[in-house]
């Protein structure tokens, strides 16, 4: 049994790594467990919002992230048939944040940057190919049973933070529910080298259509020279093989943006989309954050950022408990603050984003588009709208909860 005077983190994705760097920053020893042998570079989340950059600046890694990513100072809301509806200028947030923009940087690169930053700290371990199987707790400790290449192992600590994703084994070992729903359609993500900026697109675009909405983003890609991701809804009746068919993908992209030469496809992915929030983020000494605590559709780029905000909040509270500045019931405040904003902001906003993109009522669609045009024409209206979309309002709401 390992030394139990530490925090255990399950899941070495971007949220787990961020929890780790925060604990190191506070001088709290930890063990980070990860089932995979290395940081996986499959395309997933890639948007970092202003409050997250502010938080990462306190850990000394924001500058590196900005150097590696793309600064996006505006984004487009479009109609697939009529074109540009609204060009949102994030510069109106200059009064609210030193980072009035989005940063496009893939989550595996965030993990890599944080991993490198950890190397100047001491008293931690990162154990890969360690898969959580079960969790138990006593009055003073929590024990994690893991499978490893060398057989089963028990690891004990004072607290456990589950950052192990939407299928979290940590959460399954807690006395909590994970209520919500699953969208009937899966999302298809296609990555291509074609430069959509040449035909007028911003680096971030949401394109409404009653038959096939889509979202379009540019991220640095494997060589930092840039690739574009296109997100489409899919027919629930089609198989992955049918959806991944080369001709089917080419036809889908040509229908979206016709061009003479075929698209160069560098990656394709298909995933189920859920909207769920854990009924509690705490069960004694076991806590959850990120996708283990809440999952949502990716429209708006909020999920990973909410996970970052979770662990910044949680580790600050753990640090006060660790140094005897606060009692353990401070962890209940973590639950109240972060779960409330997940329900009020994360779920509501992402569900609303999807409904607006796929709305089939012509009058409602036009009314919504008119409202967006009105918002961008008036900075006094654009600022509160973008404070919400950029997650600033959610951070302030969480801080107001006692």
Residue 181 has φ and ψ, to the nearest 5°, of -150, 165
Q: What is the mean pLDDT of residues 307-313?
A: 98
Distance from C-alpha of 199 to C-alpha of 163, rounded to nearest angstrom: 40
| 320 has a pLDDT exceeding 60 | yes
In a 3-state reduction of DSSP, which class is residue 204?
strand
> What is the model's pLDDT at position 1?
43
Could you write out the DSSP letters of every residue in 37-93?
SS--------EE-HHHHHHHHHTT-HHHHHHHSEEE-EEEEEETTTEEEEEEEGGGG
Sign of CA dihedral 52, 349, 167, 239: negative
Distance from C-alpha of 127 to C-alpha of 129, rounded to nearest angstrom: 7
> Using the 8-state DSSP alphabet, how is residue 263 labeled?
P
| pLDDT confidence tier of residue 34, bands split at 50, 70 and 90 | very high
Residue with the two structure tokens 């919400």? 388
Per-residue pLDDT tens digits for 184-237: 999 999 999 999 999 999 999 999 999 999 999 999 998 888 999 999 999 999
Q: What residues does 287 pair with on adjacent strands?
A: 161, 282
The contacts found for 196-204 with CB under 8 angstroms, 24 or more apart, are: 196/228, 196/257, 199/257, 200/84, 201/76, 202/72, 202/74, 202/75, 202/76, 202/87, 203/70, 203/72, 203/75, 203/104, 204/47, 204/72, 204/75, 204/76, 204/102, 204/104, 204/301
Per-residue pLDDT tens digits for 340-395: 999 988 888 888 999 999 999 999 999 999 999 999 999 999 999 999 999 999 99
| pLDDT confidence tier of residue 252, bands split at 50, 70 and 90 | very high
| 109 has a pLDDT exceeding 70 | yes
Where are the chain's structural domains?
7-70+103-181+275-355
> What is the model's pLDDT at position 170?
98
Distance from C-alpha of 339 to C-alpha of 335, rounded to nearest angstrom: 6
Q: What is the mean pLDDT of residues 87-104?
A: 97
Instruction: Read off the tokens for 278.
Output: 């854990």
| 49 has a pLDDT exceeding 80 | yes
Nearest to 13 by CA among 166, 220, 189: 166
> What is the model's pLDDT at position 126?
97
Instruction: Read off the tokens for 28.
Output: 């709290």
Produce one character per residue of 277-312: b if its CB has 16 or more CB atoms within 10 Å, e if not. bbebbbbebbbbbbbbbbbbbbbbbbbbbbbbbbbb
7-70+103-181+275-355 belongs to which homologous superfamily? FAD/NAD(P)-binding domain (3.50.50.60)
| 3 has a pLDDT exceeding 80 | no
Percent of the chain at pLDDT exceeding 90: 92
């Amino acid at each position: 049994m390992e030394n139990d005077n530490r925090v255990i983190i399950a899941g070495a994705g971007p949220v787990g790594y961020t929890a780790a760097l925060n604990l190191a920053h506070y001088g709290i020893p930890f063990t980070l467990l990860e089932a995979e042998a290395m940081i996986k570079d499959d395309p997933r989340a890639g948007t970092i919002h202003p409050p997250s950059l502010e938080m990462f600046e306190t850990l000394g890694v924001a500058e590196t992230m900005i150097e590696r990513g793309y600064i996006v100072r505006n984004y487009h809301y479009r109609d697939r048939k009529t074109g540009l509806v609204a060009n949102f200028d994030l510069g109106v947030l200059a009064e609210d944040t030193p980072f009035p923009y989005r940063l496009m940087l893939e989550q595996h690169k965030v993990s890599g940057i944080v991993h490198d930053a950890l190397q100047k700290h001491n008293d931690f371990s990162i154990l890969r190919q360690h898969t959580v199987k079960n969790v138990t707790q006593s009055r003073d400790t929590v024990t994690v049973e893991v499978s490893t290449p060398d057989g089963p192992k028990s690891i004990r600590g004072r607290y456990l933070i589950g950052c192990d994703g939407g299928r979290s084994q940590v959460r399954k070992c807690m006395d909590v529910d994970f209520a919500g729903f699953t969208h009937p359609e899966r999302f298809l993500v296609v990555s291509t080298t074609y430069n959509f900026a040449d035909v007028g697109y911003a680096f971030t675009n949401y394109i409404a259509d009653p038959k096939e909405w889509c979202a379009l983003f540019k991220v640095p890609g494997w060589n930092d020279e840039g690739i574009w991701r296109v997100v489409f809804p899919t027919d629930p009746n089609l198989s992955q093989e049918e959806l991944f068919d080369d001709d089917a993908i080419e036809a889908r992209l040509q229908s979206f943006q016709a061009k003479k030469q075929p698209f160069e496809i560098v990656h394709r992915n298909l995933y189920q989309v859920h909207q769920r929030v854990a009924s509690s983020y705490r069960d004694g000494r076991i806590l959850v954050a990120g996708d283990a605590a809440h999952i949502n559709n990716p429209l708006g780029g909020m999920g990973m950022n909410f996970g970052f905000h979770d662990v910044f909040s949680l580790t600050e509270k753990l640090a006060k408990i660790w140094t005897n500045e606060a009692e353990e019931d401070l962890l209940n405040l973590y639950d109240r603050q972060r779960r409330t904003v997940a329900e009020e902001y994360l779920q509501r906003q992402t569900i609303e984003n999807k409904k607006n993109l796929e709305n089939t009522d012509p009058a409602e669609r036009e009314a919504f588009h008119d409202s967006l045009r009105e918002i961008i024409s008036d900075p006094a209206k654009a600022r509160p709208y973008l404070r919400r979309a950029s997650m600033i309002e959610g951070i302030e709401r969480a801080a107001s909860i006692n």
